[in-house]
Amino acid sequence: MTTERKLSPTHEAPYAGLRVLDFGQGIASPYCAMLLGVYGADVIKVEPPEGDWSRFLGTTYGSHTTLSAVYDRGKRSLCLDMKHKDGIAIARRLAGDCDVLIEGFRRGVAARLGIGYEELSRDNPGLIYLSVSAFGQSGPYSKRPGSDSVAQAFSGLVSINVGNDGTPHRVGTTISDVVTGIYAFQAIATTLFARATVGAGRWIDVNLCQSTSALLGHKVAEHILEGGGPRALNVPAGLYQTADGWMMVTLVNEPQYKRLCAAIGRDDLASDPRFADFARRAVVIGSAHDAEIDRAKAEH
């Protein structure tokens, strides 16, 4: 049993001796497994005969893209045909002697293959079983497929990433996948700690939409407490084009605004009553932005 195996943690490799079986594809679940490997776990990546789809998303370098190379580094590799009974038998044998199993199948697929938590945990009660999906293992959307872009939109992340064109934009990296992988890693870490005392593992349900929504907690609170879209924070924080490149500005208190005005040679803005504080600057900048969007729409 995995609960009887003694791990051999060090500061450099706290998960030394931990055995992980990674059935995930793409980014979220493989990233979680990769993080366990970074900290010393022995991770076996299980792929179908055609390979993880991340191997083909982007420019290929040998048998990898940057996605598959980055999120699967440090793992051992195994090809199993889970449509064949022998492939399933091998998977079950490996699962019976691992500490952590990570899967990203559609809801119900793992159980149908005979590698669901309920079945595996009967013979391996110490198993920590992680399921990663778009919308979770229960609820009205649980059977729906999803992706990083879907999670960014559904969670509301794109609604707060509005460009100068007034249009919500997807964040330019796979942030929903990555944050889901991090939350999944955190969930496994806490469960491993509990297992040392409790003696049993558990089934962990992590999904892209919930993980991305967790990034927006304060924005949800703002929207509720302010009765709608909240005012812009820390105005004039943002990205500005200058004569020799771009400048990122951020402010967390009022004295910094005056220092900013001095730094750009515009002390007159520091004493302008229209820009006296964050709230008034937000009104002025917001009105100017709305007018700019209206002009752009009229031109088109």
The reported pTM is 0.86
Tell me: do 169 and 278 sit in the same domain.
Answer: no
Tell me: do 246 and 183 sit in the same domain.
Answer: no
Q: What is the CATH number of the domain that holds 205?
A: 3.40.50.10540
Tell me: do 250 and 193 sit in the same domain.
Answer: no
Q: Is residue 225 part of a domain?
A: no
Tell me: do 201 and 247 sit in the same domain.
Answer: no
Q: Is residue 231 part of a domain?
A: no
Tell me: do 10 and 124 sit in the same domain.
Answer: yes
Q: Which of 177, 244, 267, 268 is catalytic?
A: 177
Tell me: do 125 and 250 sit in the same domain.
Answer: no
What is residue 273's predicted lDDT score, i.e. its pLDDT? 92
Tell me: do 202 and 124 sit in the same domain.
Answer: yes
If one counts the domains in the chain, the total is 2
pLDDT tens digit sequence for 239-280: 888 889 999 999 999 999 999 999 999 999 999 999 999 988
Tell me: do 176 and 40 sit in the same domain.
Answer: yes
What is residue 72's predicted lDDT score, i.e. its pLDDT? 96
Tell me: do 171 and 279 sit in the same domain.
Answer: no
Query: How would you write the chain as a 3-class SS string?
Result: CHHHCCCCCCCCCCCCCCEEEECCCCCHHHHHHHHHHHCCCEEEEEECCCCCHHHHCCCCECCECHHHHHHCCCCEEEECCCCCHHHHHHHHHHHCCCCEEEECCCCCHHHHHCCCHHHHHHHCCCCEEEEEECCCCCCCCCCCCCCHHHHHHHHCHHHHCECCCCCECCCCCCHHHHHHHHHHHHHHHHHHHHHHHHCCCCEEEEEHHHHHHHCCHHHHHHHHHCCCCCCCCCCCCEEEEECCEEEEECCCCHHHHHHHHHHCCCHHHHHCHHHCCHHHHHHHHHHHHHHHHHHHHHHC
pLDDT tens digit sequence for 65-87: 999 999 999 999 999 999 999 99
Domain final residue, candidates 214, 248, 279:
214
What is residue 234's predicted lDDT score, i.e. its pLDDT? 86
For residue 177, indicate whether it is catalytic. Answer: yes
Q: 291 is in which domain, residue-wise?
A: 238-299
